[in-house]
């Protein structure tokens, strides 16, 4: 048996006819609006502008971004104010300790003061340990040795500093020891 092949001329082939056939039926709009030729009606494509859904989504994204940005800015500003308050209190503490030392030398047990227009302080001696009588002591004010009956005292001091500016308020407490000497009231032997 001999094989035969069937050859058709190209013009008789059904392929060109299949290629020229439309693959889908044209879609008709549901309303009586006539569209220009070549334009298709679509929910996602509008040549006249944005759809309401697109505008609402864009507005939502914009407002969410603004809200987050405002929150971040507000938090950063408050953090900066707290850091500035802490720095001001930390810087003032050594100077306030020196003022308290002068008050202790004047035999005060506590007190309060205003260091600056934003910083106030309150202090008191919480405990005091005294030595035996000493016959001479160094006077810090004159820089000379003074004879007499003296006692060395180790004072435990608690100081509370307060920073107040507009709506910002910060308070810290600090406890430290200060060595001082006091002249005895009685000059008789002990």
Dist. CA 177–CA 3, nearest whole Å: 118
Q: Are 152 and 131 in contact (CB under 8 A)?
A: yes
Range of the domain at 112: 72-183
Q: Are 145 and 180 in contact (CB under 8 A)?
A: no
Q: Are 161 and 88 in contact (CB under 8 A)?
A: no
In a domain, 35, yes or no: no
Query: What predicted TM-score, i.e. pTM, was given to this entire model?
Result: 0.54
In a domain, 36, yes or no: no
- Going 68 to 73 to 77 to 80, the CA torsion angle's sign is positive
In a domain, 149, yes or no: yes
Q: Are 104 and 180 in contact (CB under 8 A)?
A: yes
In a domain, 7, yes or no: no
User: Residue 156: how many CB atoms within 10 A of its CB?
Assistant: 14
| Tokens read off for 58 | 């864009």
- Going 107 to 110 to 116 to 117, the CA torsion angle's sign is negative
For 52-68, the pLDDT digits (tens) are 999 999 999 999 999 99
Residue 190: band (very low, low, confident or very high) from pLDDT cuts 50, 70, 90 = very low
Residue 83: band (very low, low, confident or very high) from pLDDT cuts 50, 70, 90 = very high
For 143-161, the pLDDT digits (tens) are 888 777 777 888 899 999 9
Please tell me the total count of domains within the chain. Answer: 1
Tell me: pLDDT of 3 over 50.
yes
Q: How many CA atoms lie within 13 A of 67 on its CB side?
A: 6
| Tokens read off for 117 | 């227009």
In a domain, 132, yes or no: yes
| Tokens read off for 52 | 């309401």
Tell me: pLDDT of 96 over 90.
yes
Question: In a 3-state reduction of DSSP, which class is residue 91?
Answer: helix
In a domain, 67, yes or no: no
In a domain, 32, yes or no: no
In a domain, 9, yes or no: no
């Amino acid at each position: 048996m001999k094989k035969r092949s069937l050859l058709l001329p190209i013009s008789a082939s059904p392929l060109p006819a299949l290629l020229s056939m439309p693959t889908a039926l044209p879609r008709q709009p549901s309303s009586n609006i006539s569209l220009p030729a070549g334009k298709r009606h679509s929910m996602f494509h509008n040549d006249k502008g944005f759809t309401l859904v697109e505008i609402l989504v864009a507005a939502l994204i914009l407002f969410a971004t603004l809200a987050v940005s405002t929150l971040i800015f507000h938090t950063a500003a408050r953090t900066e104010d707290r850091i500035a308050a802490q720095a001001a209190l930390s810087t003032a503490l050594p100077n306030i300790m020196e003022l308290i030392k002068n008050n202790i030398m004047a035999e005060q047990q506590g007190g309060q003061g205003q260091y600056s227009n934003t910083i106030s302080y309150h202090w008191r001696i919480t405990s005091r340990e005294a030595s035996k009588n000493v016959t001479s002591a160094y006077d810090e004010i004159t820089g000379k040795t003074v004879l007499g009956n003296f006692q060395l005292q180790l004072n435990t001091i608690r100081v509370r500093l307060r920073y107040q500016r507009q709506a910002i308020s910060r308070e810290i407490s600090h406890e430290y020891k200060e060595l001082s000497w006091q002249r005895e009231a009685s000059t008789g032997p002990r």
